[in-house]
DNA sequence: TCACAACGTTAACAAATGTTTAGATTTATG
DNA sequence: CATAAATCTAAACATTTGTTAACGTTGTGA
């Protein structure tokens, strides 16, 4: 029941929930710490956990048919992260989740998530708001790939991932932007 | 209370809802028909409606700072469409919605949507499932921009938009793929 | 501390994609 | 039906982006 204060705060921001209801729910979670570089979640497995980051940073990546790795996302403190698509569809994950620093997470097993939908008085609403939050993020991302150049997206990356330049190597940032590290190097000069 | 059978069917697929509850909800909607080429929703206005397409096809587009128009999405029969991000955030829309054929929609005004969240017994769950459905679609899209070439995305476009080649001009498809119509012409030859 | 791997930059060249212009065909509409 | 607009293709050239290889720096674990 310790170290869930951040998640408790986030939940109380999103829905009406009593201290007691919240505590019962959070009792069904557990804490986990990943070392720098450690893999949090592997592809080819049906994901059955959602993570809430207390401290640290998790990179989401995927490998294409040529074997090239692409960085899809960075997840920061006070955010939920999972291969959410495959979690919901109960299909094997395609993403790798990896801690870029020592990272502490609250683990929400599927049983806990389902319990929340069933028994928390505003559980469905919480789920809706979280899905909507990420929908808005993805919509902004998709929009930006259409209307911004890679350079412009690079210049604005700290809007979405503050301090990312001190927490992730440049080649991962380039990969997130969809360009090669060599090309990012070039863009920075101009 | 007519011409809502398709939407009724979709709702009953997603949540437990009685015929009566459904009818009360659908009484708060209205039907609208757009002619071919007609604009459904303009940018710079706070969107206050969600549309469910009975028949037809709606294109979603955005204009960048250089004045170039980009096709972001096609919405087909039995799908919901809106500038959902800005609907939720109550901020001015950035997208243009335009009917590519004569299109019949069920209009869900914001008041109706809010009523559903408040009074439908599984209203929040319905909202969650819809947001999750579009999250999965967006996730697939983002993933594909990383791991597929434009040609591969072109070859698979009918997976997502069946029969799109007969319903939208090629330059809009090229725009959706993020390439110029000239380049799409080239890709088709190879 | 030392040695090795990871990282960032640069240059030269190759491949992918965009731009401009033109022309032919199809489609929409009075 | 006739005309104008929209659409698709093509070629030539320009720009952007990727690839390969080399080099120096930094970080990290034995």
Domain residue extents for chain A:
5-121
Mutate to test the interface with B, among A146, A150, A160, A174 (most CBs of B within 10 A): A146
B85/A136 touch (CB, cutoff 8 Å), yes or no: yes
| Contact flag A135-B65 (C-beta cutoff 8 Å) | no
- The more confident residue out of B113 and B66 is B113
Judged by phi (left if over 0) then psi (alpha if -120 to 50, else beta), residue A67 lies in left
Residue matched to tokens 């700072």: B65
Residues of A in contact with B94 (CB under 8 A): 143
Q: Distance between CA B147 and CA A66 in Å, rounded?
A: 9
Residue A71 reports pLDDT greater than 90: yes
Residues 6+ apart with CB under 8 A from A71: A59, A60, A61, A172, A173, A175, A176
| Mutation target vs B (from A147, A150, A160, A174; most B CBs, 10 A cutoff) | A147
Q: Is the pLDDT confidence value at A112 over 60?
A: yes
B144 and B88 in contact (C-beta within 8 Å)?
no
B165 to B18, B74, B160, B170, B171: CA distances (angstroms): 39, 12, 12, 7, 11
Dist. CA B45–CA B47, nearest whole Å: 6
**Confidence at residue B190, expressed as pLDDT on a 0 to 100 scale:** 82
CA distance B117 to chain A (A): 9
Q: What is the mean pLDDT of residues B59-77?
A: 95
Q: Is the CB of A179 under 7 A from strand D?
A: yes
Task: Report CB contact under 8 Å: A65, B178.
Answer: no
Would you say A72 and A64 are in contact if contact means Cβ atoms under 8 Å apart? no
Integer-rounded Cα Rg, in Å, for chain B is 18
Q: What are the pLDDT digits (tens) for A120-162?
A: 999 999 999 999 999 999 999 999 999 999 999 999 999 999 9
Query: Which DSSP symbol is given to B120?
Result: S
Strand D lies under 7 A from the Cβ of residue A82: no
Cβ of residue B167 near strand D, that is under 7 Å? no
Q: Specify the fold of B5-121.
A: Jelly Rolls (2.60.120)
Residue-level pLDDT at A1: 44
Residue B181 has pLDDT above 80, yes or no: yes
Mean pLDDT of B97-113: 97
Count CB atoms within 10 A of the CB of residue B65: 8
Q: Which residue in B70, B133, B134 sits closest to A143, CA to CA?
A: B70
Q: Which nucleotides of C are covered by protein (CB under 7 A)?
A: 6-12, 17-21, 29
- pLDDT higher than 90, residue A181: yes
Length of chain A: 190
Question: What residues contact A188, with CB distance under 8 A and at least 6 apart?
Answer: A154
- Which member of B65, B84, B94 has the closest CB to residue A135? B84
Taking residues B162-175, report their average pLDDT: 96
């Amino acid at each position: 029941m310790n170290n869930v204060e951040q998640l408790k705060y986030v939940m109380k921001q999103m829905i009406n929930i009593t201290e007691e209801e919240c505590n019962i729910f959070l009792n069904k979670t557990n804490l986990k710490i990943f070392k720098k570089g450690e893999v949090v979640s592997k592809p080819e497995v049906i994901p059955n956990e959602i993570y809430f980051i207390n401290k640290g940073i998790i990179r989401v990546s995927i490998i294409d048919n040529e074997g090239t790795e692409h960085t899809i996302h960075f997840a920061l403190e006070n955010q939920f992260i999972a291969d959410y698509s495959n979690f919901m569809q109960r299909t094997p994950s395609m993403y790798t989740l990896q801690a870029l620093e020592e990272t502490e997470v609250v683990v929400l097993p599927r049983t806990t998530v389902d319990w929340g939908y069933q028994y928390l008085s505003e559980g469905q609403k919480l789920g809706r708001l979280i899905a909507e939050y990420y929908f808005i993020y993805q919509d902004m991302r998709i929009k930006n790939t259409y209307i911004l150049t890679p350079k412009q997206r690079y210049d604005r990356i700290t809007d979405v991932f503050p301090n990312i330049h001190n927490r992730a190597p440049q080649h991962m940032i380039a990969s997130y932007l969809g360009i090669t590290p060599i090309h990012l190097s070039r863009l920075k000069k101009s």
